[in-house]
């Protein structure tokens, strides 16, 4: 930890002149400006009219300040500012306040002033939350960002690698997040150097990608999922229309479904596009089986066109579901059935792609339904696919 330089606090009592404003005088290193600064803490001493009591109060205050400085407390970090990294920031009751110029405070300022894509922002916030939580465990969360040195950062990354066992790619993302934050802090003169250097490397590969669901597991899963009609519909939109649960299903509106032409038109602003400069809309086919259920079972055609298909209260409505609502409901079912963790909500899209391949649909038809620009994505989506038995060997290789 960087050492805080300071002079020993003294009481300025003006030779006992009660008409003067007594104060505690000391000098302390200001990491933001990179220099020593004079501090006069008046501590309300002038309000004490008795000479003896004022001397006692001044001595006590001087001792308190000296003790805090020895414990590496910083006079420049006492101010509290609002953090927009707290959970539920849109609700005033959940407002959170942190020390000014702390890591979380600077990160909050960064979020306000730096433009980020909608996909980058949640990732930045989640990683800063993890770093802030670790700093809190080390009792460093109230320290100014200037006091977080390279040794502290390296210890944090060792924690990510050794205790959380994160993958190499995730470690790189953490490094990039903190590097961006420290670059901003350096530019704003909150720090005098970027300490995100000599980060430990990690080559671990954690295969946590969603995988297609085996037929026997899918049958077990479906018996429970069908008790939740909204989740059931979302899973079918993935399975039959190969829609993505993150944005394409959450932001899907009734008016985007053409019940006559059996297609769904998704505008470019909710479709995942790998190239942000070439945003494209997407049109997928709705198989007859699902279209019939949309009309006869879910009655989607009877709702206003501006209603979200997956509304906030279990039925189509003006408010869409939160980002993790469907994922949480699916995870609860998976855990209840004690199924593998590699089954994720996204697995239904993978399962749909594999099913189309096994039915010998043309790769171009599959790519169009999935919204891919080329068929090479089929290899990515079918990674971890259950291997199909070779029928010739299965039937004709008799031995012993």
Residue 371: partners with Cβ closer than 8 Å, 6 or more residues away: 242, 266, 271, 272, 282, 284
Quick one: pLDDT at residue 164? 81
Whether residues 297 and 345 fall in one domain: yes
pLDDT-based confidence at residue 354 (cuts at 50, 70, 90)? confident
Specify the pLDDT at position 265: 93
Q: Which residue has the tokens 């901003």?
A: 184
- Whole-number pLDDT of residue 91: 39
85 and 232 both lie in a single domain: no
**Residues 41, 162 within the same domain:** no
How do 23-30 and 35-41 pair as beta strands? antiparallel
Q: How far apart are CA 300 and CA 286, in angstroms?
A: 13
pLDDT tens digit string along 82-132? 555 554 344 343 445 556 678 888 888 888 888 877 667 778 888 888 888
| Residue span of the structural domain in which 259 resides | 215-381
pLDDT at 94: 40
* Per-residue pLDDT reduced to its tens digit, 5-52: 788 899 999 888 888 888 889 888 766 556 788 888 887 788 788 898
Does a structural domain hold residue 386? no
* In a shared domain, residues 224 and 317: yes
Tell me if the pTM is above 0.85: no
Does 143 have pLDDT greater than 50?
yes
- For 288-302, give the secondary structure using H, E and C: HHHHHHHHHCCCHHH
Number of neighbouring beta carbons within 10 Å of residue 364: 11
The predicted pLDDT at position 375 comes to 67
Is 399 within a domain? no
Q: Is 152 contained in some domain?
A: yes
**76, 93, 115 - which closes a domain:** 76
**Does a structural domain hold residue 196?**
no
Could you tell me if residue 389 is inside a domain? Answer: no
Residues 97 and 38 reside in one and the same domain: no
């Amino acid at each position: 930890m960087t050492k805080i330089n300071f002079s020993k606090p003294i009481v300025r009592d003006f030779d006992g002149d009660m008409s003067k404003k007594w104060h505690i005088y000391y000098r302390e290193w200001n990491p933001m400006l990179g220099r020593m600064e004079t501090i006069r803490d008046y501590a309300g001493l002038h309000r004490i009219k008795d000479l003896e009591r004022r001397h006692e109060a001044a001595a006590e205050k001087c001792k308190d300040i000296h003790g805090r400085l020895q414990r590496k407390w910083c006079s420049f970090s006492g101010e509290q500012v609002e953090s927009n990294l707290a959970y539920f920031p849109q609700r005033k009751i959940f407002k959170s306040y942190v020390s000014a110029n702390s890591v979380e405070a600077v990160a909050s300022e960064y979020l306000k002033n730096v433009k980020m894509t909608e996909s980058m922002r949640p990732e930045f916030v989640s990683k800063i939350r993890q770093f802030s939580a670790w700093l809190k465990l080390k009792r460093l969360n109230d320290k100014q960002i200037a006091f977080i040195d390279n040794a502290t950062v390296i210890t944090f990354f060792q924690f990510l690698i050794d205790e959380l066992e994160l993958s190499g790619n995730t470690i790189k993302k953490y490094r990039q997040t903190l590097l961006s934050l420290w670059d901003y802090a350096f530019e704003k003169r909150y720090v005098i150097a970027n300490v995100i250097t000599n980060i430990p490397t990690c080559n671990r590969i954690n295969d946590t990608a969603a995988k297609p669901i085996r037929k026997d597991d899918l049958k077990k899963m479906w018996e429970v999922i069908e008790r939740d009609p909204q989740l059931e519909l979302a899973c079918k939109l993935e399975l039959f229309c190969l829609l993505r649960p993150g944005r394409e299903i959450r932001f899907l509106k009734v008016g985007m479904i053409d019940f006559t032409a059996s297609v769904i038109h998704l505008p470019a602003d909710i479709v995942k596009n790998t190239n942000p400069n070439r945003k494209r809309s997407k049109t997928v086919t709705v198989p007859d089986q699902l279209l019939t259920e949309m009309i006869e079972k879910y009655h989607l055609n009877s709702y206003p066109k501006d209603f979200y298909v997956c509304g906030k209260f279990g039925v189509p409505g003006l408010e869409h579901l939160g980002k993790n609502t469907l994922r949480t409901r699916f995870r609860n079912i998976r855990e209840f059935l004690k199924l593998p963790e590699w089954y994720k909500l996204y697995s239904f899209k993978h399962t749909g792609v594999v099913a189309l391949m096994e039915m010998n649909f043309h790769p171009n038809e599959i790519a169009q339904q999935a919204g891919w620009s080329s068929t090479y994505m089929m290899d990515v989506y079918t990674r971890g696919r259950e291997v199909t038995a070779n029928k010739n060997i299965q039937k004709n290789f008799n031995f012993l």
